[in-house]
Amino acid sequence: MCTRFSFLVFVALICAAVPVFGQGITTHKVAGNIYMLEGRGGNIGVSVGEDGVLVIDTQFDNMAGPIRDAIKELSSGEIRIIVNTHFHGDHTGGNKALGQEAPIIAHVNTRKRLLATGDESDQAFRNSLPWVTFDDDLSLHFNGEEIKIVHFPTGHTDTDCVLFFTESNVVHMGDHFFNGRFPFVDLASGGDVASYINNVQTIIDQLPSDVKIIPGHGALATLDDLKAFKEMIDETVAIIRKGIEAGKDEKQVQEAGLPDKYSDAGTGFINANRWISIVYQSYTR
């Protein structure tokens, strides 16, 4: 019940916070044959080439048409593979509508948590579930390069994976990166703020300086952008933990607030008060 509730609340937050202008998709060239599609929901990664099209995340069901049209502008090939970075509906909602017969790959916990949110008697729901699951990591050899899919446990959720394009020097981080914004850490679905911070640092430590990064939300990014995101998390968490150590309750910490320099980070669907609440609960539960 907890998993289903957090899933539905997160989808509601996304739907309420993101305006739709004709449900359009904006396409960004990342590097080589890799593209990022921005629309309504999590950022989509696309690899196009002689093997066909690989799609990372699928946003919502009603975005499948615009997404498919945007992909057709890049390639006449078929969608051959879909990868989900985690289970939230703004990253998996279009699985069936977009994928048709394409196999869906995700961490084993993504399938488990999706199963907890739907009705198994519904054929369309069953067809939207991952077909192929893995535990720790998986490699795909597609469009001329190895794509490493690595699970980072207990961060944003317990379902998250990050994709490393080894030749193109591109990384899709899913919701381990909200560029310029406070992140959502889903505590009810295996998330943990301290682990989230550790995961982000682990990823930073292995990336080259000229890497191109597709965040789960926000603009196409560089390593410096990711480091700035990590610094923002570190500093705000330290402030909140100081309030906890002083014996303040959650409301008191929210009333104390965060420095003005972080005001822009709270303009997304996770505002400053919500971020304080997530951090407070993560460190006191």
Cβ atoms of 86 and 174 within 8 Å: the answer is: yes
Cβ atoms of 75 and 100 within 8 Å: the answer is: no
Which token pair is 128? 């939207």
The CA distance from 11 to 19, in Å, is: 14
β-bridge mates for residue 161, sequence order: 151
- What pLDDT score does 177 carry? 98
Sheet strands (E) in 5-109: 26-31, 34-38, 44-49, 52-56, 79-83, 104-107
User: What strands, in cross-sheet order, belong to the sheet with 132-134?
Assistant: 26-31, 34-38, 44-49, 52-56, 79-83, 104-107, 132-134
Domain layout of the chain by residue ranges: 2-225
The CA distance from 173 to 175, in Å, is: 6
Identify which of 149, 204, 182 has the alpha carbon closest to the alpha carbon of residue 258: 182
- What pLDDT score does 9 carry? 43
Which residues have C-beta within 8 Å of that of residue 231, sequence separation ≥ 6? none
Which token pair is 35? 């593209």
The CA distance from 187 to 179, in Å, is: 20
β-bridge mates for residue 278, sequence order: none
Q: Which residue has the tokens 């690595």?
A: 150
Find the Cα–Cα–Cα–Cα dihedral 241, 175, 7, 121, rounded to 10°: -150
Radius of gyration over alpha carbons of the chain, in Å?
Answer: 18
Q: Any idea which architecture 2-225 has in CATH?
A: 4-Layer Sandwich (3.60)
The CA distance from 170 to 210, in Å, is: 9
Residue 53 vs residues 76, 90, 102, 143, 157: alpha-carbon distances, Å: 9, 20, 10, 8, 27
- What pLDDT score does 23 carry? 56
The CA distance from 246 to 248, in Å, is: 6
pLDDT-flagged residues of the chain (< 70): 1-23
Task: Give the pLDDT confidence of 101-154 residue by residue, as tens digits.
Answer: 799 999 999 999 999 987 777 777 887 899 999 999 999 999 999 999 999 999
Which token pair is 251? 């409301």
The CA distance from 253 to 73, in Å, is: 49
CA atoms in the 13 A half-sphere facing the CB of 161:
28
